[in-house]
Amino acid sequence: MGNKQSNGNKTSKDLKSAEGDESYRQYKYIRGHCYQNGIITTKDEKKVFRSYLKSAKGRNIIGQNNLGQCYEHGIGTIKDEEKAFQWYLKSAEGGESTAQNNLGYCYEHGIGTIKDEEKAFQWYLKSAEGENISGQNNLGKCYEYGIGTIKDEEKAFKWYLKSAEGGNHMGQNNLGKCYKHGIGTIKDEEKAFRWYLKSAEGGESIAQNNLGYCYEHGIGTIKDEEKAFQWYLKSAEGGNISGQNNLGKCYEYGIGTIKDEEKAFQWYLKSAEGGESTAQNNLGYCYEHGIGTIKDEEKAFQWCLKSAEGGNSNGQNNLGYFYDHEIGTTKDEKKAFQWYLKSAEGGNIIGQNNLGYCYEHGIGTIKDEEKAFQWYLKSAEGGNIIGQNNLGKCYEYGIGTIKDEEKAFQWYLKSAEGGNHMGQNNLGKCYKHGIGTIKDEEKAFQWVLKSAEGSDKINQISVEYFYWNLQN
């Protein structure tokens, strides 16, 4: 406030009598702001609350909004979401764009009032049209996901752009997401990277995680695992659970840093406890295999269960595997089938393969070779090398489909080139016996050798057979 103390010569009586004056109400708001941020006195949340209360009762719309925040978050008073809502409503109706955004948030999430997405949308719209950058971002979100309005990705992009250009860090992150995935605009990974960078540098932990991902995979920028690690670290330390999970992955596999399984476990644990379903699955894997912690199959099962119930398709597949193979729980083939089914329906290509196997062999369900074929096909087309091998087997022997040795050969080839040892062995068999291709014992030997180098005793015996056969 410098030397301009306009109330410097007023007595306390003068100040009290001035409470109806707008300039005085504004002064009370400023004083509350100063208390809250420790600018002119020791931070005292009760004084903050009292200052905002006086300002709000004096009909200052900014003070009313800030009083709402005090009630919402329990700043200097007992938390009371209904009172928070009421003060946001007063402020919003008075034209305060920040309060309009806060009121929209209350309606969206049912804070202090009944959840009403249409009203949420209307208040976000008022806030956005009043040039509030947070309201613009939230309005963009409504259009992107169809919250209280018809889904419209072009409008979502437009409002994210306004918010981002106005300096809102979450808006900048969301604009980056639009450019990355082509939401309401042409896909442009370089622009995505630049907006993630702006947001991340502004301290937005979600964007810091997204920026790390860009550096890790070379999206819109040159691949740089060390920078990826650094941004994941910032995001993780800022409390972002996705960033914590990705930081754990960096430590587990040595991405941009020295491999450290204990640190990997610790970050997975933080993320998992925060509710990140991917991290819960990863933590389960750590407990299952003793990565960075003592092996504990029961804990592995419990964390996979949390992940699966949270909708993570990898967690659902792994939970099915635990029930199927009696890991950390009692064997239950029906439950195994159900979890494989959830995973498969969620698009998980490993789950689709495992579901196909259940239908092929009648595990936890009635045997159905046609369904087995269909799920192997989905898995194979999605790029799963085990599913590709199993699909090849279906075509070779006519399991759930018409026998077709040429298609069998093609799927074995895909599986083999992807590194699957059984696919490599089966491809070798195709070349040896001329199944779906011209007989070629040299190629047969090469593929069986590849399979044997990373696989089992059966393939080792096959290699010995080929050595003997070629020499005689």
CATH topology (fold) of 24-151: 1.25.40
Categorize the per-residue pLDDT at 41 as very low, low, confident or very high, splitting at 50, 70 and 90.
Answer: low
User: What does the pLDDT look like over 216-234, one tens digit per residue?
Assistant: 999 999 999 999 999 999 9
How much is the average pLDDT of 283-290?
Answer: 98
Q: What is the mean pLDDT of the chain?
A: 90
How much is the average pLDDT of 291-312?
Answer: 98
Do the beta carbons of residue 306 and residue 341 sit within 8 Å?
Answer: no
d(CA 38, CA 48): 10
How much is the average pLDDT of 229-241?
Answer: 98
DSSP letters for 320-341: HHHHHHTSSS---HHHHHHHHH
- The secondary structure of residue 377, as a DSSP letter, is H
User: What does the pLDDT look like over 420-455, one tens digit per residue?
Assistant: 999 999 999 999 999 999 999 999 999 989 888 866
User: What does the pLDDT look like over 47-97, one tens digit per residue?
Assistant: 889 989 999 999 999 999 999 999 999 999 999 999 999 999 999 999 999
Those residues whose C-beta lies under 8 Å from the C-beta of residue 219, and which sit 6 or more positions away, are 180, 189, 192, 193, 213
d(CA 430, CA 406): 10
Do the beta carbons of residue 388 and residue 355 sit within 8 Å?
Answer: no
Q: Is pLDDT above 60 for 98?
A: yes
pTM listed for this prediction = 0.84
Between 397 and 11, the more confident residue is: 397
Tokens of 406: 């040429």
Structural domain boundaries in the chain: 24-151, 385-393+401-471
Q: What is the pLDDT of residue 239?
A: 97
User: What does the pLDDT look like over 331-376, one tens digit per residue?
Assistant: 999 999 999 999 999 999 999 999 999 999 999 999 999 999 999 9
Q: Is pLDDT above 80 for 402?
A: yes
DSSP letters for 186-223: ---HHHHHHHHHHHHHTT-HHHHHHHHHHHHHTSSS--
Categorize the per-residue pLDDT at 113 as very low, low, confident or very high, splitting at 50, 70 and 90.
Answer: very high
Q: What is the pLDDT of residue 439?
A: 95
Q: Is pLDDT above 80 for 15?
A: no
Count Cα atoms within 13 angstroms, Cβ side, for 228. 22
